[in-house]
Structure formats: structure tokens, C-alpha cells
């Protein structure tokens, strides 16, 4: 992992945007895996601005979203399909046929998940997977104790995740208890993974992911086994890291993302 620590959320988004811009520049066929949620939203806004300013072109990009709530239709305001349409897909030149979602209302969950994995393989695999991290160390909706070899599937959300999501729904009974998610094993097959983390509430999970043991209790720790994982975080999220001086020196010596991550 290459860990870069920035002073605030803006610094994280600026760095991540430049990273994505370089990856998309001149690409003939690029496949992105996308997370959603607050941490990623600043990056999406910059990507939309980059498209509007002529810096980004999504016409040759395929996307696969990480997860979706079971029981929510794509037009539900709290579905991730709706979120992505509002904050990215409806604002750039992605081709509709190149946008891939997990369906929260699939008739055959097992068959749908198997087909999703097949679609990823058919386009040559994911070139860049963008991730956030949950307070309990989940990536996608791979909750603690998820198999580190897991594939796309339906999962039961932990009580902690359900409580975190209550603010988005009218009442507790409306919060989904299940979700579909790419598995940890699926995520690890991406050629490169860009993980963003901001805020003090992510500090314990981030420390466990980067400096703790590889263990199912922190699914994100499986990323230690991946050869290309830039981690971009702010100082608040990095506060529990032990080797912060080492990571901070990386920023001091590498002011620009230019050239850091070769082909």
C-alpha cells in the first residue's frame, strides 16, 4: 500500500481526482468499479466538473457498482442506483449499456450475482476499483467475518451498519437488513484499488486495514495482499496510524500524483 495523508477532505478528493484523470487519459477501454456514499461524493463532484471542463471523457468507460440494498428498486431515493444517477451517471457521457448495477429486486439472487461476475470477466476485469471503508472495516457490504475469498452474493448487514444507515430512512423498520455486494475475492481481482478514507470515525478501521493483521474481522485488511493499493486519507482518519511520519514523508517527497503509479 502507498499511503498518502492530506490535511482535509478536499485534499483527499483533489489527489484522488488527479489519479483517476491520469488513468482515464487516452484510455480506449477502461473498466471502473465504483463505491458510493459520502466519502466518495467529493470525488464524483470533481469528476463531473472534469467532464464539464473537457478533462475527462467517459465514452469508453464501463462501470460496475459495488453493492445495492436488497428490496430497493433503482428509482428508490435511497438505492445506490439512484445515488449514482443523481451524482455521476446522469451528469457525464457514460453510455447506458456500459453501466452495470446489482439489482436489489432480482428474482434469482444467486443467478443474478453469478451473471454479474460473468459480466466483469467479459469486459476484461476491473482496471480500477474505487473504495471507501466502513467504520467496522467493511468494504462494499462485506461485513466483519466475511470470507476473504468471497464472491458477489447477498449478505446480512450488521446492526452497526443498520444503525449508521438509519439517518437515510424514515424509520428503523425501513432500513434494509440485506444487501448484494461484490465479494472480497472479487474486489481483490481488480488490477488496482484506490481507497479513500476521511474523518475520525474511520480511524480505527483504517489503522486495522493498514497496520493490523490480515483477518476476516476487518475485511479491508485483505487489501494488504493486493500489489497495487493507493490509500488516500485525511489527518483525521490517519490519527490512529503508528507510522504516520513514514507516510507523511511520502507526501512531502511526492507533491504530485504524476508518475507515481505507472502502467
Helices (H), the chain: 9-24, 38-52, 80-87, 109-122, 159-165, 184-188, 203-211, 244-253
Burial class (CB in 10 A: 0-12, 13-18, 19+), 225: exposed
Residues in the chain: 263
Return the pLDDT at 242. Answer: 95
Query: How far from 44 is each of 107, 117, 216, 220, CA to CA, in Å?
Result: 31, 25, 30, 22
Spacing of C-alpha 119 from chain mean position: 19
- Note if 114 is an active site residue: no
What is 8-200's CATH topology? Rossmann fold (3.40.50)
- Domain boundaries of the chain, sorted by first residue: 8-200
- For residue 2, the 8-state DSSP code is E
Return the pLDDT at 86. Answer: 97
Plot region of 126 (φ>0 → left; ψ -120 to 50 → alpha; else → beta): beta
Q: Point out the catalytic residue in the list 62, 138, 192, 234.
A: 138
- Note if 234 is an active site residue: no
Query: How far from 177 is each of 38, 173, 209, CA to CA, in Å?
Result: 20, 9, 25
- Note if 143 is an active site residue: yes
Cell 423498520 -> residue: 173
Return the pLDDT at 250. Answer: 56
Cβ atoms within 10 Å of 133's Cβ, excluding its own: 26
Question: What is the per-residue pLDDT across 39-91, written as a single tens digit (0 to 9) for each?
Answer: 999 999 999 999 999 999 999 999 999 999 999 999 999 999 999 999 999 99
- Note if 136 is an active site residue: yes
Query: How far from 147 is each of 128, 152, 176, 183, 187, CA to CA, in Å?
Result: 22, 11, 22, 8, 12
Cell 473537457 -> residue: 54
Question: What is the per-residue pLDDT across 249-263, written as a single tens digit (0 to 9) for each?
Answer: 555 544 545 555 454
Angle at 192 between CA 187 and CA 120, to 5 degrees: 50
Return the pLDDT at 188. Answer: 98
In degrees rounded to 5, what are phi and psi of residue 100?
-120, 130
Return the pLDDT at 263. Answer: 45
Strands (E) located in 208-250: 230-234
Q: Point out the catalytic residue in the list 9, 65, 67, 142.
A: 67
Low-confidence ranges of the chain (pLDDT < 70): 248-263
Classify strands 193-197 and 99-100 as parallel, antiparallel or unpaired: unpaired
Amino acid at each position: 500500500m502507498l499511503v498518502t495523508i492530506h490535511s482535509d477532505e478536499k485534499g483527499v478528493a483533489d489527489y484522488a481526482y488527479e489519479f483517476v484523470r491520469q488513468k482515464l487519459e487516452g484510455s480506449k477501454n477502461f473498466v471502473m468499479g465504483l463505491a458510493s456514499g459520502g466519502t466518495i461524493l467529493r470525488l464524483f463532484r470533481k469528476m463531473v466538473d472534469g467532464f464539464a471542463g473537457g478533462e475527462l471523457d467517459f465514452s469508453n468507460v464501463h462501470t460496475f457498482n459495488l453493492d445495492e440494498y436488497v428490496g430497493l428498486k433503482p428509482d428508490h431515493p435511497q438505492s445506490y442506483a439512484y445515488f449514482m444517477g443523481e451524482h455521476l451517471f446522469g451528469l457525464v457521457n457514460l453510455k447506458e449499456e456500459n453501466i452495470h448495477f446489482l439489482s436489489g429486486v432480482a428474482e434469482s439472487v444467486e443467478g443474478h450475482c453469478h451473471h454479474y461476475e460473468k459480466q466483469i470477466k467479459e469486459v476484461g476485469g476491473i482496471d480500477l476499483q474505487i473504495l471507501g471503508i466502513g467504520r467496522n472495516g467493511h468494504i462494499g457490504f462485506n461485513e466483519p467475518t466475511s470470507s476473504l475469498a468471497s464472491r458477489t452474493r447477498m449478505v446480512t448487514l450488521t446492526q452497526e451498519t443498520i444503525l449508521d444507515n438509519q439517518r437515510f430512512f424514515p424509520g428503523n423498520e425501513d432500513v434494509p437488513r440485506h444487501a448484494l455486494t461484490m465479494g472480497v475475492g472479487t474486489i481483490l481481482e481488480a488490477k488496482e484499488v484506490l481507497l479513500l478514507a476521511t474523518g475520525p470515525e474511520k480511524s480505527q478501521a483504517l489503522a486495522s486495514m493498514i497496520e493490523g493483521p490480515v483477518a476476516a474481522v476487518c475485511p479491508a485488511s485483505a487489501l494488504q495482499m493486493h500489489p497495487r493499493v493507493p490509500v488516500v486519507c485525511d489527518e483525521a482518519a490517519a490519527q490512529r496510524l503508528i507510522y504516520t511520519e513514514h507516510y507523511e514523508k511520502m507526501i512531502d517527497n511526492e507533491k504530485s500524483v504524476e508518475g507515481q503509479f505507472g502502467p
